[in-house]
Each structure stands twice: as structure tokens, then as C-alpha cells.
Amino acid sequence: MRRVLASISLVLAASGLRAQEPSELVREQQQLQMYSAFWPNLHHVLWAEAWARRPPSAGPSPAAPLPEPLTGSLTQAERGAWDAALAYYDREVADLHPLFDPESAAIRKAIIAAGQELPATGLEPEHRRVLSEAAPVYRTYWWPAHDRTNREWIADSVASIDALSPAVPERLARLYGTPWFTRPVRVDVVRVSSREGAFTSLDPSPGHITVSSSSAGNQTWAAAEVLFHESSHLLFLPVMSAFGAEVRAQGKDTRRGSPESWNANVWHVALFYSTGEVVRQALASRGITYEPYVYKMGLFDRAWPQFRMPVEVHWKAYVNGETSLGDAIKEIVAALK
């Protein structure tokens, strides 16, 4: 009888521990639901580690470097499971673009739909197997620290967003001519992500944001700007279409250099500028000096020097209410070569 009671006590204790586990949904602010979820973090760690193990001759990594080395006293079986997952990622996943590749999009959607276990569909059987076998290793050695850091980042970024709300999101919505979200947008905070530190997809609707808690450009007030920027991708679509139509109308759809520097992508520079400038002005009104992301990260200098003058003159005028959206877009495109 004592043995039966002891077994029941152990079951109840285990159930209680599970009930006390922190929710993967950490906080919500301005319809942004911020998650520190196990499977998306494991997926991105494996992707980044697969790239980290490649030789320099493999080319530049689309993944950011891991912020901490993955050290630990793994058993032989644990090392085998982890290495098998890395081998699969190196062979099948690492070269997929995390945002633009359809296979990668399917993987992302399956992983964010996961609960305690991975879904039965949406992943290749071998992919599901290696993730399931690597999961106990990640959960034992690295996930507790990653989850803790993610949650600290979420707490700081939510505080920054709260301090800037509702003024900043309301102003951005007015500038883009699109209402702020009426449905929650999922934000997956992961320890490591793409080298840009964040990316946004339209699918699943109304959108999905992935952001790194370790990226140097995503800290302090910049965390709020990055989240407002990624959110703005989902609101900026009509403005993006207007830029594209004007580029074509003026015969300026030239494609020199890297795709991000093509004239058709000037809309993205305008999006960077407007988000950063709105945040900067909101902080300046409180006596806080802030350098927007586009300047702090040197994007005008190293990626978009040809767009700097048109955006700083004509898009700035629109942000400040000195010209119309249509006129700003026409003047920007007219200044492009």
C-alpha cells in the first residue's frame, strides 16, 4: 500500500512540475505575442552550428554566430544524437534561406506549431527523428540558459515598447496608411537567428516574426525599434507596392550589384528610416538620445549609399509631415540612377 501511495505521489509531483513549467508565450504588448519556445530555438541553434562547423571556403554564413560555445560533458550517446542532427542540418537545411525558401517556410510553420512533441506532419521523417533525438541533449545542456536569456530580453523589450506606446505604433500606422494589428502576431525570440538578427514572414497570417536575443543590434532601445521595424513589414505592403509601381513607371528598375541594392528595393530603406526616425523622435521628446538602427549599423555606408540622399531628403519630409506620400515616392525614385 505504501508503495502504491508513493507511486501516486510521484505522479502527482511530476504533474505539478509540468503545471509549473513557464509558458512558452512570455508576454504580449501591442498585439505582439512574444514566445521563448523550445523547438524554434533548437532549430535555429542547429542551423547556426551547422554553418559554424563549415570551413571558410563555404562562403559567408546566413546565420549569426552562436553567442556562446556549446560546451558540456555529453555522453557518447548524447554526442552521437547531436552530431547526427548537425549532419542532417548541414546536408539538408543549412543552405535553405530561412525566409524565402519554400522548404524552410514549411519547416518553420511545423516547428512553431509544435507542443511538447513535434507534429506528425510538416517535417521530413528523418528531420523529425533527428530533432526528437537531439531535443533531450539541448534541453539538458543549453536550453535552460537560452530560455532564461530570451525571457530577460523579452522583459526588457516589452518595457521599451510599453514606454513608446501607443504613440509610436499609432504614428507608424498613420504613415503607412494601414491600421495597427487587431489580431496577435507571433514573435519567436530565439537565442541565435539570421545574421541580420530578425526576419518577418506573412505566413501564418497576420504574420510571424523571428528575432534573436543575442544580436548586438537588438539590445536596449534598439530592441523596440527592431520589433517595430519587423512589425512594419506587415503594414508597409501598400507603400511597398507604390514604390514598385513608381520605379517601373519612371524606368528605374535597374538591377546592379546585390539584390538588396536594386532600385526596386528602395522601399526597404524607407522602412528602416521611418521606423528609426519615429522611435528617435519619440525618445528625443523625453530627453533621450538615440541613434537609429540604419545609422548605428552603418547600412547607408556599406549597403545603400546610393539611397541615402533621396531617403534623407524626401522620405524625411514625408515622415515630418512636410509632403505627401505620393510626392515623396516620386521624388525618391526620380533621384535614383
Q: Does 110 score more than 70 pLDDT?
A: yes
pLDDT value of residue 37: 97
How would residue 287 be classed by pLDDT, with cut points 50, 70 and 90? very high
Q: Does 199 score more than 60 pLDDT?
A: yes
Q: Does 148 score more than 90 pLDDT?
A: yes
More confident residue, 296 or 99: 296
pLDDT value of residue 21: 58
pLDDT (mean) for 5-15: 38
Distance CA 145, CA 191 (A): 10
Q: Which residues contact 172 (CB under 8 A, 6 or more apart)?
A: 180, 228, 232, 235, 274, 275, 278
What pLDDT, in 10s, does the model give residues 22-49?
689 999 999 999 999 999 999 999 999 9
How would residue 208 be classed by pLDDT, with cut points 50, 70 and 90? very high
Half-sphere exposure of 228 (CA within 13 A, CB side): 35
What pLDDT, in 10s, does the model give residues 48-67?
999 999 999 999 999 999 99
Distance CA 37, CA 44 (A): 11
pLDDT value of residue 261: 84
β-pair partners for 34: 27, 187
Q: What percent of the chain is predicted at pLDDT more than 70?
A: 93
Report CA dihedral (264, 265, 270, 273) to the nearest 10 degrees: -160
Q: Does 15 score more than 60 pLDDT?
A: no
Tell me the average pLDDT of the chain: 92
Q: Does 117 score more than 70 pLDDT?
A: yes
pLDDT value of residue 6: 39
From the list 210, 212, 207, 211, the residue with the least C-alpha distance to 191 is 212
Q: Does 285 score more than 80 pLDDT?
A: yes
pLDDT (mean) for 102-124: 93
3-state helix, strand, coil in the chain (%, to 5): 60, 10, 30
pLDDT (mean) for 237-241: 96
- Provide the terminal-to-terminal Cα distance of the chain, rounded to the nearest Å: 86
How would residue 259 be classed by pLDDT, with cut points 50, 70 and 90? confident
pLDDT value of residue 133: 98
**What is the reported pTM?**
0.91
Q: Does 3 score more than 80 pLDDT?
A: no
Q: Does 284 score more than 70 pLDDT?
A: yes
